[in-house]
Amino acid sequence: MTQPGAPLIDAYDAALFDLDGVVYLGPVAVPGAAEGLNALRRRGVRMGYVTNNAARPPASVARHLVELGIVCDESDVVTSAQAAARLLVDRFHSGAKVLVVGGEGVVEALKEVGLVGVHSTEDEPVAVIQGYAPDLTWEQLNEAAIAIQRGAHWVATNTDSTRPTDRGIVPGNGAAVAAVRMAVDIDPEVAGKPYRPLMDETIHRLGAKRAIFVGDRMDTDIAGAVAVGLDSLLVLSGAHRAAELVAAGPGCRPTHVGLDLRALLAPPREVTRVVNRVICRSMAAVAVEGQIRLENPPHSDEEAVDALWAVAQLGWHAGDRSNRLDPAPALALLPALA
């Protein structure tokens, strides 16, 4: 039991972090990320960096984090490529040939578990591993489709449809997986979030008993946490924002919300529900004639998050009882979180 007013992190023995949109946006750090992560480490918090992005091996990711001013070791990083390689070696054993559709992160993950990466269907691979790479080619996608048609087992590192970058939202590995799926008649086995393999591997490595997962996407990060029974913190620094939070179904709702990962160092946002009204700190959302409205406008970013949390809780409660409320009037007062 944590003390009233204690930091959110005090309720947990470890914190797991998505990277894209949570810690960095492409080559640059999310504002406050290095400060928050280093403060957590000084508190003795066990931390794991869990990424669906399979482009780079853990050592490369760790170097990037250190360059951004974050204290990190290679062993702190777990990628979806590693989880996918683990699935394959458990199924086919060391020495099996696997067609590589991806870059260095996929190649290194296969080597780590003793699998042999090949680049042609003519090498008779028993499986295909597909992960994101910035220089992915149509030739690789063609080889994947042909190998799968010939019976190779298909594993995708992840199916994120988009990726947040410092320049905007761009297509993710899911877009390339969808291209291959157009040519074959099966779906891939998926290693990354929201599926269990990546999350289970990270929890095992940390030896965590009560971890919290921090992510920026409802459909992968938060849904992945729900799938393995973890509490979660949605941060509004990446892909998903106010509209996605309010629209979230029961399988992808976060336990907490914050502007960025520094919310772990602050007290959690508590809400009070009274009939058709939800209060979060000084902000209140109320149901009026089928709409959600704010009783008072926010005057700071933190108050805007308080208001959003009240709106989300009110909307979820009503929606779960088949009484959908229109959040548009309230969200219109939260443009910074749109």
CATH of domain 81-190: 3.40.50.1000
Looking at this protein, which amino acid is placed at residue 77? V
Q: What is the layout of strands, in order, in the sheet containing 127-130?
A: 116-118, 97-101, 127-130, 153-156, 189-190
Could you tell me which of 283, 284, 292, 286 has the C-alpha nearest to residue 324?
292
Same fold flag, 8-52+195-265 and 81-190: yes
Rounded-to-integer distance, Cα 31 and Cα 123, Å:
47
The residues spanned by each domain of the chain are 8-52+195-265, 81-190, 271-337
pLDDT value, residue 87: 96
Residues labelled as active-site residues: 18, 20
Q: Are 57 and 108 in contact (CB under 8 A)?
A: yes
Mean pLDDT by 10 residues, the chain (338 residues): 85 95 92 97 95 93 96 94 96 97 96 97 98 95 98 96 86 96 98 92 88 94 94 96 96 97 97 94 97 97 98 96 96 96
Architecture in CATH for domain 8-52+195-265: 3-Layer(aba) Sandwich (3.40)
Q: Are 115 and 95 in contact (CB under 8 A)?
A: yes
pLDDT value, residue 2: 66
309 token code pair? 């949390």
Q: Is-above-0.85 flag for pTM?
A: yes
pLDDT value, residue 38: 97
Phi first, then psi: what are they for 290, rounded to 5°? 80, 5
Rounded-to-integer distance, Cα 110 and Cα 71, Å:
27
Rounded-to-integer distance, Cα 91 and Cα 20, Å:
30
